[in-house]
Structure 1
Amino acid sequence: MTPLRRNRDFTALWTGQVISTLGARISATATPLLVLAATGSPLDAGLVGAAGTLPHLIASLPAGPLVDRWNRHRILLASELVAAVALLTVPLAIWSGVLTVAQMCAVVFVQGLCLVFFELAEHAALPMVVPPGQLATAFATNEARSRGVTLAGPPLGGFLFTVDRALPFLVDGISYLLAAVSILFLRRDLRPAARGPAEPLWTSALTGLRYVWRNRFIRASLLLIAVSNLVFQALILVLVVHAGDHGATPARIGLMLGLYSVGGLLGALIAARVHSRLSLRVVLIGTYWIWSVLLPLFAWASSPWQIGAIGALTAFVGPIWNVMILTYASITVPNELLGRVMSAANTLTWGVMPIASLGAGVLLTAVGPVGAIGALSAIMLTTAIAATISPTIRKSSPLPGTDDAAPDHTPPVPPAPRDQLPLDPATRPPG
């Protein structure tokens, strides 16, 4: 088997996304800083954050069938180009003195929409680019990519924002253009297999929703992951304001978020090995208890370095969960259905993020950062207890390829449907 590093198509896709993800992390760090500097309102910052995550709620479900119908190569390319155009309007507006909160909402909404289509297309295309035996390594490599650039992205975002408020968004726009160039080097045919006449869009979308909702374990996991996504999406803004209240500059806040990501990178580096040694239920239940213990510590942290160190510990376990679940989904879900299955799951688990961003703004206005951390910690503790006492979670079958799996690697869901949770519960936000 050809080593993954010699797979030209995977290398082209991976390299482009290193550049693109770096730019996205830079602008993501600068966005709340820009809104807070311009308006001084955490509620406005929450509104912009909600606009950026709204596409996960309203677009993921219809995007899945489209990814299963359209040429995934074209989706990847168009997503990068449209996002580039949207981001480049921000520095132009800043330099012209006409930037508004409404424009920022529109820009991050378009960027989020492109992200929805790109990630669904990338996940659906990866099994067409990488042999099944290398999928776990490929997903772990992608996790390392995401976590690695997050180390550099926030510090760069904070630094560039200090130099010129427009620079982070200019850099991000250029990064999307460079990533689009790398997509042009993909030579593999990424068109879905030809099928009969396409069913209506919403009927097709609901097919994916039925697939992921049919199994009790999937339903329970979706609910748990949705709650953790809500907590960590809200936590990002809360920590930025919390650090600012203790005198942290934008540059130090960027470094804080970079330190936060160290744990995610370390988790990504071991994820492929852990994938074959731990059961899904151990990772799922254990992750929520780790987060329940760590989250209250943020309230006691008084410097960006302390906040970043605690964040690094919370981020460590996320990539392990991501690699396990994405690998299983890519192996067990038919590729022609993968886009729909993933989009349905993403709608249910990422759709809470707009609510989380708005909730963070409301909590910060009402009770301040420490009170907001307390509320989020209580939600996470409740979730950990629910995961522990849930018979569905405790009795879940092992994943194929783990040490405690049955010798014949029988999937933990009935053969029809051949589906499992294709989620990325900790990549966004970095929990």
Structure 2
Amino acid sequence: MEISNAPGSGPSAPRSTEAAADRTAGPPGEAAEPPEGDGPARPPLPRDVRLFWTAHAADALGTQASGVILPLLLLGLGHSPATVGLIAGVSTAAGLLLAPFAAIPADRGARKPVMFWSATVSALAMAGVTLSVATGTPPLALLIAVVLVERFSAAVYEAAATGTVAMIAPPADYPRAVAGLQAGEQGALILGPALGGALYQVSRALPFLADALSYTVAAALVRSLRSDLRPERDESDPERTESDLRPQRADSDNDSAEKGTPSDARPRRLAAFTAELGAGLALVRTSPFLRLVLLWSTTVNGVIVTLFYGAVFTLQEGGHGGAPMGLVLGLAGAAGLAGSLAAPRLAGRISAARLLVAVSWLLVPLAAGLATAEGPWTYGALFGVFCLLMPLVVVVLQSRAIQETPPHLQARVGAVLATSAGGAAALAPVLAGLFAAGAGTAAPAVLCSGVLALLALRTTAVRGRLRGAAG
């Protein structure tokens, strides 16, 4: 789910996409019927979708521009690689742990204010880094504190933003909306590091200023959204979880708690909060399709990071410098952008189940080929095809996952999927290093090809059961 993944309680006009959603939406999990005359003359996406795209792309561009420079800044200030790695690991882990908690207020209806204020805090944090770097040598404690604040705020923003597509786009346009978000991320992967490097050559503070400005743009665009981003709750919805009813029961029991059992009030509130926190995981566990999304996204996220580090180790062993690695990343980013742009049309022509199985099997020989690749061009070509295919499935899975998830659980389900995929990506460099050190630089690719083969077998095995949900 979307990504990458905005809470809105402010002045909210009636949901602009409601009528279109009523015309196109089928039962949960079924593919929406395409509008009549679907083809080159498809109507433009709603204004809020375009604003949300721009906010997402600006945020991603600034993050990539500063993210590639922060390690260089820390190393340039005399800090060790171990310190740099520790800061990166702690900030990433903190964000993953915080996301499920931030998803609760978003699902309760605070999506827009949470997104706005978290983007604002991130902008202030990056402005603090800019000021401290521009005026001298910032102390490590200050940099760590500001980076953690920014990571916390960014995690809150990402968790709240999950599910926004369901509030601002009709179901028939979910693939186009998700593909736009994916394209923004891929474009940022291409342009962000180059922008950060160019700005760093002018002044080491400028990449962080660019990130602060990108957060400011995102906050302003989120605030200008007109759609009501609060989920509509249907009391008769059978998928409405027990956790959504418990807070009401706890409130209705306040009188009895005050009359003689005050000690019971706190455990009840804790139980209600725990149930709300776990509602997203509970839905993922009971939905075959969402379980597949979790398995596929977690596995492929971990694999692609492992393959990237395997490429770094192999190219370094072959005596290639940073330029060849930049070539690999550039080709991969361009291929990912092309895949994201092509995904909506393919989603309308090929069933999701068939596309999922086909891509899952195609990834296996690509990973195996990387085990024997040597030069940067070979790596770039194979890695590029891998990154071309992956968005085709990601867009389809995220679009259908939005349909599978009730509006009042969008952020929490998204947080579960993002935390699992992010955790796999965080562990991947460790596994790649261990396998490369113990069995050679080709070992990470061999490991990945085996894991992908198991994933393809599992995807094929459950395809029949998922036809109704996955297309």
- What's the TM-score bracket when you normalise by the shorter of the two chains? 0.7 to 0.9
Aligned residues: 396
Q: By how many angstroms is 1:88 displaced?
A: 2.7
* Cα distance between partner residues in 1 of 2:461 and 2:313: 38
Equivalent residue for 2:461? 394
* Cα distance between partner residues in 2 of 1:108 and 1:232: 26
Residue ranges of structure 1 left out of the alignment (5+ in a row): 400-404, 414-431
Letter in 1 for 2:218: A
Larger radius of gyration: 2
Equivalent residue for 2:16? none
Letter in 2 for 1:276: G
Are 2:195 and 1:156 equivalent residues in the alignment?
Answer: yes
Equivalent residue for 1:178? 217
* Cα distance between partner residues in 1 of 2:285 and 2:366: 31
Check whether the contact 1:158–1:254 (CA below 8 A) recurs between aligned residues: no
Equivalent residue for 2:137? 97
* Cα distance between partner residues in 1 of 2:108 and 2:152: 18
* Cα distance between partner residues in 2 of 1:118 and 1:306: 38
* Cα distance between partner residues in 1 of 2:133 and 2:432: 26
Which residue, 408, 422, 429 being the options, matches 1:336?
A: 408
Equivalent residue for 2:469? 411
Check whether the contact 1:243–1:302 (CA below 8 A) recurs between aligned residues: yes
Equivalent residue for 2:370? 297
* Cα distance between partner residues in 2 of 1:360 and 1:107: 30
Equivalent residue for 1:273? 345
Are 2:111 and 1:72 equivalent residues in the alignment?
Answer: yes
Which residue, 443, 448, 465 being the options, matches 1:380?
A: 448
Check whether the contact 1:155–1:253 (CA below 8 A) recurs between aligned residues: no
Q: By how many angstroms is 1:123 displaced?
A: 3.0
Equivalent residue for 1:423? none
Spell out the pairing of 1:234-273 with structure 2 (5 A cutoff).
Answer: 234-236=306-308, 239=311, 246=319, 248-249=321-322, 256-273=328-345
Structure 1's 11 and 353: CA in aligned 2 closer, same or farther, altered over 3 A? Answer: same
Q: By how many angstroms is 1:319 displaced?
A: 1.4
Equivalent residue for 1:57? 96
* Cα distance between partner residues in 2 of 1:133 and 1:236: 35
Per-residue CA deviation, residues 13-56 of structure 1 (Å, 9 max, x unaligned), is 22222222211121232234444555685544443332342145
Per-residue CA deviation, residues 108-154 of structure 1 (Å, 9 max, x unaligned), is 54444333332333232222211122122111222222222322112
Percentage identity across aligned positions?
29
Per-residue CA deviation, residues 371-393 of structure 1 (Å, 9 max, x unaligned), is 4x533213312212212333x64
Letter in 2 for 1:222: L
* Cα distance between partner residues in 2 of 1:164 and 1:378: 42
Are 2:87 and 1:48 equivalent residues in the alignment?
Answer: yes
Letter in 1 for 2:335: G
* Cα distance between partner residues in 1 of 2:401 and 2:288: 16
Equivalent residue for 2:303? 231
Structure 1's 136 and 88: CA in aligned 2 closer, same or farther, altered over 3 A? Answer: same
* Cα distance between partner residues in 2 of 1:185 and 1:252: 42
TM-score between the two structures when normalised by the length of structure 2 = 0.72
Letter in 2 for 1:260: A
Equivalent residue for 1:136? 175
Moved more, 204-213 or 105-114: 105-114
Structure 1's 412 and 229: CA in aligned 2 closer, same or farther, altered over 3 A? Answer: closer
Structure 1's 351 and 297: CA in aligned 2 closer, same or farther, altered over 3 A? Answer: closer
Equivalent residue for 2:29? none
Letter in 1 for 2:66: S
Letter in 2 for 1:269: L
Check whether the contact 2:178–2:399 (CA below 8 A) recurs between aligned residues: yes
Which residue, 380, 389, 395 being the options, matches 1:317?
A: 389
Moved more, 37-46 or 309-318: 37-46
Moved more, 114-123 or 65-74: 114-123
Q: By how many angstroms is 1:164 displaced?
A: 3.3
Equivalent residue for 1:213? 285
Residue ranges of structure 2 left out of the alignment (5+ in a row): 1-19, 21-40, 234-243, 249-268
Per-residue CA deviation, residues 155-200 of structure 1 (Å, 9 max, x unaligned), is 2223333443332222111111122122221122222336764672
Moved more, 341-350 or 278-287: 278-287
Check whether the contact 1:155–1:257 (CA below 8 A) recurs between aligned residues: no
User: Over aligned residues, Cα RMSD in angstroms?
Assistant: 3.5
Structure 1's 132 and 217: CA in aligned 2 closer, same or farther, altered over 3 A? Answer: closer
Equivalent residue for 1:21? 60
Letter in 2 for 1:12: L
TM-score between the two structures when normalised by the length of structure 1 = 0.78
Equivalent residue for 1:418? none
Structure 1's 185 and 240: CA in aligned 2 closer, same or farther, altered over 3 A? Answer: farther
Equivalent residue for 1:349? 421
